[in-house]
Amino acid sequence: MKSAQWQADLQQIRHLRLFNNVAASSINQLLKEFRACDLDAGEVLLSPFNRNQYLYLLLKGQFKVYLGSLDNQPVSTLKMGDCAGEVSFIDNEHPCAYVVASEPSSVLRLHRESLLNLFQQSPQLMHNLLELLCERVRQGNRLILDSEQNANIDTLTGSFNRRWLEHVFERESTRCAFNQQPLCMLMLDVDHFKAYNDQHGHLAGDYALCLVAHTLRNQLRPKDSLVRFGGEEFVIVLPELADEEGRRIGERLRQSLQQITSFYSPLGVLPGVTVSIGLAQLHANDSLHSLIARADSALYQAKQQGRNCLC
């Protein structure tokens, strides 16, 4: 980061969010404390390894924000008028993210002591900074929520993944036991999936798996959970249902796929697929592992009986 020449421009400064509705006299006093700096593309402005004493206002260019490592995808972009470093500037701790110039950029740098003194003279300035901090916190909460949701979702089919299965089984089995309600599990396997891939290609197989997930998901209740267990296997958790009702639902799902003899995809028209299904009802002392084992055993029987059936 290199020092740069900058001509103080009150009109330009007043358009920055930090100085919204701040008295001109307060801004003029603060302008004397600003230091302008230029950064090259790829230059790191903030790092978790270096304590930060400054608030930065982006005048020109663009910054990318990275969490954890610079090898990760950026989580947000800072543009002209945005602030950087306000959290570590306030608490005087190390930054929690990397902020990197993605193109040649210019910033105004302000030492924390200069702004803290001005807070006493301009409550509006403090208000503006608190708004920026609240926005940053909300953005962080959204990132946490998005990452949690993404961690539970199979990216190909949009179904839940095995990580979610462990969570939902713990929740639903406890709830059903407390309310003295049954719980069923269906384990499904796409029939002859290897042959389907060999004949039509792996991309076609991916589209077939998406078809299966979409068809099943549209027929389930909000409280049911469709999980891609691995490869061409799916698991469905059916809370509050005993085996007879579970069998009825499983048969309906199986028949709905059997009726789709072909479907449209970006590759053109592809043949549909069928599924074999194993059903197991939760017992009093069942763990997730033991329930899956019984559902898997029933699935094996369905395959032995010729596939495209439920046991």
CATH number at residue 227: 3.30.70.270
Whether 40 is covered by a domain: the verdict is: yes
**Best-predicted range by mean pLDDT among 2-6, 64-68, 192-196?**
192-196
Last residue of a domain, one of 91, 124, 151: 151
Do residues 94 and 175 both lie within one domain? Answer: no
pLDDT higher for 282 or 118? Answer: 282
Mean pLDDT, rounded, for 286-293: 95
3-state secondary structure of 160: strand
Do residues 66 and 127 both lie within one domain? Answer: yes
Whether 63 is covered by a domain: the verdict is: yes
Q: Give the CATH number for residue 142.
A: 2.60.120.10
Q: What is the pLDDT of residue 225?
A: 93
The pair of structure tokens assigned to 196 is 């389907």
Cβ count within 10 A of residue 61:
19
pLDDT at position 259 over 80 = yes
Mean pLDDT, rounded, for 12-39: 74
Q: What is the pLDDT of residue 252?
A: 96
Instruction: Provide the mean pLDDT of the chain.
Output: 86
78 class by beta-carbon count within 10 Å (0-12 exposed, 13-18 middle, 19+ buried): buried
Whether 89 is covered by a domain: the verdict is: yes
Do residues 132 and 110 both lie within one domain? Answer: yes
Give the lowest-confidence range in 114-118, 165-169, 174-178, 260-264: 114-118
pTM: 0.58
Whether 261 is covered by a domain: the verdict is: yes
Residues belonging to the active site? 232
Give the lowest-confidence range in 94-98, 128-132, 236-240: 128-132
3-state secondary structure of 233: strand
Do residues 37 and 143 both lie within one domain? Answer: yes
Do residues 145 and 21 both lie within one domain? Answer: yes
Do residues 11 and 113 both lie within one domain? Answer: yes
Do residues 7 and 138 both lie within one domain? Answer: yes
pLDDT tens digit string along 179-223?
A: 999 999 999 999 999 999 999 999 999 999 999 999 999 999 999
- Cα–Cα distance between 73 and 58 in angstroms, integer? 21
Last residue of a domain, one of 102, 129, 151: 151
Q: What are phi and psi of 269, to 5 degrees?
A: -75, 130
Whether 310 is covered by a domain: the verdict is: no
pLDDT at position 229 over 90 = yes
Do residues 110 and 188 both lie within one domain? Answer: no
Whether 157 is covered by a domain: the verdict is: no
Instruction: Evaluate whether 219 touches 279 at the Cβ level (below 8 Å).
Output: no
Mean pLDDT, rounded, for 77-93: 81
Q: How confident is the model at residue 272 (pLDDT cuts 50, 70, 90)?
A: very high
Contacts of 85 (CB under 8 A, 6+ apart): 45, 46, 52, 54, 55, 56, 95, 99
The proportion of the chain whose per-residue pLDDT surpasses 90, expressed as a percent, equals 51
Measured CA to CA in angstroms, residue 159 lies from 155, 164, 260 at distances of 8, 10, 20
Do residues 174 and 244 both lie within one domain? Answer: yes
pLDDT at position 148 over 60 = no
Whether 311 is covered by a domain: the verdict is: no
Give the lowest-confidence range in 8-12, 49-53, 92-96, 140-144: 140-144
Last residue of a domain, one of 151, 174, 207: 151
Please report where in the chains the tokens 């599990």 appear, as a residue: 185
Mean pLDDT, rounded, for 284-304: 95
Do residues 135 and 183 both lie within one domain? Answer: no
In terms of residue numbers, what domain contains 241?
Answer: 162-304
Do residues 25 and 139 both lie within one domain? Answer: yes
Do residues 119 and 33 both lie within one domain? Answer: yes
Q: What is the pLDDT of residue 141?
A: 60
- How many independent structural domains does the chain possess? 2
Whether 198 is covered by a domain: the verdict is: yes
